[in-house]
Amino acid sequence: MSIYSELILDHYQHPRNFGIIVNPTLKSFVSNPLCGDEIEVAIKIEKGKVAEIKFQGRGCAISLAAASMLTEFLKGKPKEQLKKINKEHMIKMLGIELGVNRIKCALLPLEALKKL
Amino acid sequence: MRNFKSFKEDFPIFKNVINFTYLDSTATSLKPQTVISKLVEYYSKYSANIFRGVYKISEEATKEYEETRTVVADFINAKTENEIIFTRNATESLNLIAYSLGREILEKGDEIITTVMEHHSNFVPWQQLAFENGAVLKVINIDDDGYLDVRLEKVITKKTKILALTYVSNVLGTINPIKEITASAKKINPNIIVIVDAAQAVPHMKVDVQDLGGDFLVFSSHKMLGPTGVGVMWGKENLLESMFPFMYGGEMISEVYLDKTVFKGPPHKFEAGTPSIGEVIGFKEAIKYLKTIGMDNVRRHEKYLTLKCIQTLKSRFGKNMTIFGPADIENKGGVIAFNFGKYHPHDIASILDEDGVAVRAGHHCAMPLHNRLGVDATVRASFYIYNDENDIEKLVKGLEKVKKTLG
Ligand SMILES: Cc1ncc(COP(=O)(O)O)c(C=O)c1O
């Protein structure tokens, strides 16, 4: 089965939460020098919740779709969720099977969260 | 001459992997049955250690192993087989030279020259050596067509001890004029040691080390139809004599006492420990196979495919297709690195893989080059004797699918 499922392509072509936050509470940047992918995630916490979350950067369809899905999922959630989300969540959310090489693309946005 | 289409039959992988378009021979080549059979022969008939036994199968293994040395020496026209050192791969050969020779001859303020188009294996050892010995690393640039800036008088001085450069770029495909470069480098500074990374040259074209005039030349068996685990370091005998061993241990000594050790001469001085015996033995079958085709025919076939592929990509995709490296096929090996539209190389490679087309995506162990080109990554398709026009068609179809899938 293709890893370019309808869901992945939708998020790649219409990324959610793409952009910057002016005064973020938290911000982090990750890159994968192997392919030049770069992702920055910015978050605004209000009343213990992820009031706003945005990402920007460049990358392959998988890493961009993953960032879009991850931010969509986290928006509005209690801030504890930022720490709780893990690799298994990510893979389940993406709903595709990735080999050892491409899985790195999918996990790049998660890495950004871990660095917050 | 056999029709190139029929070469696929000699490679069992095409029977075992269905719908398989292999366009990544620059990374490693596929293996013909003769090479696989030779490995099986060693492991099933005379799988003894070499040099150590006086019994029959050890003698047979030793004879087969040493025969490969002679076959390699003849293949690249070395003066004697003592100039052929077996290592694990081209990378180890380059590190061996940096360690055994570079560390000894480089003093503070001396210069090492390399180029921006090198594979990391011919870049990082020199960069690190320069750090260690307080030497200066100078890097020759390329022009926008992917040719080296060969105005050597601008970089080589009396303080230059080493010039290390690739024969054929594993990304641009550029075939560097090694003979001319070596001659002019030695004219400016006769003491300069010229080290040629021929990992992408020896598999694809005729290479004559005496004609080229350099001091060292390295390559890997696995990129030329042979087994993994075998590299070659060719060096001029007088230099090899003067160099220190890279590793100490069995096979490389003639006498050991409590207070001193006498080393063997080259080549065995540099082959400490049990080598990849079966793989070295199998390697000679790869060379024999290439020789029956003829290296000029190999080169002609790859030139034909490369030109056809470039023309096809340009005519089908026009401005969406950016191809890196020389446009003149006479100066380009069978390597095509490209970027396609706005699509990320990893996505392109993944979508091509869905239909069994194997290409590489990334920086191909040449980050300084990709920085010079101003791109993060490229897609790379490369050819060898088992490729044909159908493979180009498959690539084009795959790229059309990329466009359709990603929009
Ligand atoms: C130009 C060049 N040099 C050196 C190497 C290193 O070869 P190996 O990995 O077999 O040591 C490669 C392999 O990709 C190469 O293309």
With a cut of 70, which residues of chain A have pLDDT below it?
Answer: none
Q: What are phi and psi of B40, to 5 degrees?
A: -65, -40
Domain that holds residue B318: 4-23+294-406
**Cα–Cα dist B204/B201, whole Å:** 5
CATH number, domain at B306? 3.90.1150.10
Tell me, yes or no, whether B121 and B9 share the same domain.
no
- The angle that helices B345-354 and B389-406 make with each other, rounded to 10 degrees, is 110
Identify whether B388 is part of a domain. Answer: yes
B344 and A60: CB-CB below 8 Å?
yes
Identify whether B31 is part of a domain. Answer: no
Q: What total number of domains does chain A contain?
A: 1
> Which atom in ligand 1 lies closest to the alpha carbon of residue B89?
11
Looking at B263, B291, B319, the residue that finishes a domain is: B291
Looking at B291, B310, B345, the residue that finishes a domain is: B291
Q: What are phi and psi of B340, to 5 degrees?
A: -125, 110
A–B: how many Cβ contacts below 8 A? Answer: 47
A61 and B363: CB-CB below 8 Å?
no
> Which atom in ligand 1 lies closest to the alpha carbon of residue B169?
1
Tell me, yes or no, whether B102 and B200 share the same domain.
yes
Identify whether B198 is part of a domain. Answer: yes
How many Cβ atoms sit within 10 Å of the Cβ of residue B20? 17
- Residues of B at the A interface, defined by Cβ within 8 angstroms: 344-347, 350-351, 354, 361-363, 367, 375-377, 405-407
Query: How many angstroms is it from B166 CA to the middle of ligand 1?
Result: 10
Helix (H/G/I), strand (E/B), else coil: B254: strand
The answer to whether B230 and B31 have CB atoms below 8 angstroms apart is no
- Nearest-by-CA chain B residue for A105: B346
- Where in the sequence numbering do the catalytic residues of B fall? 365
Question: Tokens 């179809």 appear where?
Answer: B397
From residue B378, alpha-carbon distances to B212, B264, B316, B366, B369 in Å are 31, 46, 19, 11, 11
Q: Which of B115, B222, B223 to mutate to test the pocket of ligand 1 (most atoms within 8 A of CB)?
A: B223
Tell me, yes or no, whether B231 and B143 share the same domain.
yes
CA dihedral sign, ordered B318, B322, B326, B331: negative
> Which atom in ligand 1 lies closest to the alpha carbon of residue B170?
16
Identify whether A103 is part of a domain. Answer: yes
The sheet carrying B216-220 orders its strands as B84-87, B231-235, B216-220, B193-197, B160-166, B111-115, B136-140
From residue B373, alpha-carbon distances to B117, B322, B326 in Å are 10, 11, 13
Residues with a CB atom less than 6 Å from ligand 1: B 26-27, 89-91, 119, 121-122, 166, 170, 197, 199-200, 220, 365
Tell me, yes or no, whether B286 and B151 share the same domain.
yes
B354 and A12: CB-CB below 8 Å?
no
ipTM: 0.90
Name the minimum distance, in Å, from the CA of B121 to any CA of chain A: 16
Query: How many angstroms is it from B114 CA to the middle of ligand 1?
Result: 15
Residue B389, H or E segment: helix B389-406
Identify whether B30 is part of a domain. Answer: no
Identify whether A1 is part of a domain. Answer: no
From chain B, pick out residues whose CB is under 8 angstroms from the CB of A8: none
CATH number, domain at A62? 3.90.1010.10
Residues in Cβ contact with B384 at an 8 Å cutoff, skipping those fewer than 6 apart = B25, B29, B30, B203, B204, B298, B302, B334
Q: What is the pLDDT of residue B372?
A: 97
Identify whether A107 is part of a domain. Answer: yes
Q: What is the pLDDT of residue A35?
A: 78
Q: What are phi and psi of B274, to 5 degrees?
A: -70, 120
**Cα–Cα dist B196/A86, whole Å:** 47
CATH number, domain at B84? 3.40.640.10
A34 and B363: CB-CB below 8 Å?
yes
Identify whether B177 is part of a domain. Answer: yes
Identify whether B29 is part of a domain. Answer: no
A36 and B406: CB-CB below 8 Å?
no
CA dihedral sign, ordered B233, B386, B338, A101: negative
Q: What total number of domains does chain B contain?
A: 2
Tell me, yes or no, whether B222 and B75 share the same domain.
yes
Query: How many angstroms is it from B49 CA to the middle of ligand 1?
Result: 28
Identify whether B28 is part of a domain. Answer: no
Identify whether A105 is part of a domain. Answer: yes
Say which DSSP state B136 is in: E
Tell me, yes or no, whether B69 and B185 share the same domain.
yes
Name the minimum distance, in Å, from the CA of B363 to any CA of chain A: 7
Amino acid at B398: G
Domain that holds residue A89: 6-114
Q: What is the pLDDT of residue B1?
A: 61
Question: Tokens 């920007």 appear where?
Answer: A56
Tell me, yes or no, whether B82 and B214 share the same domain.
yes
**What are the per-10-residue average pLDDT scores of chain B (407 residues)?**
82 96 98 98 96 88 97 98 98 97 96 98 98 97 96 96 98 98 97 98 98 98 98 97 91 88 92 96 98 97 97 97 97 98 96 97 94 96 97 98 95
From residue B35, alpha-carbon distances to B42, B288, B354 in Å are 11, 10, 30
Name the minimum distance, in Å, from the CA of A51 to any CA of chain B: 31
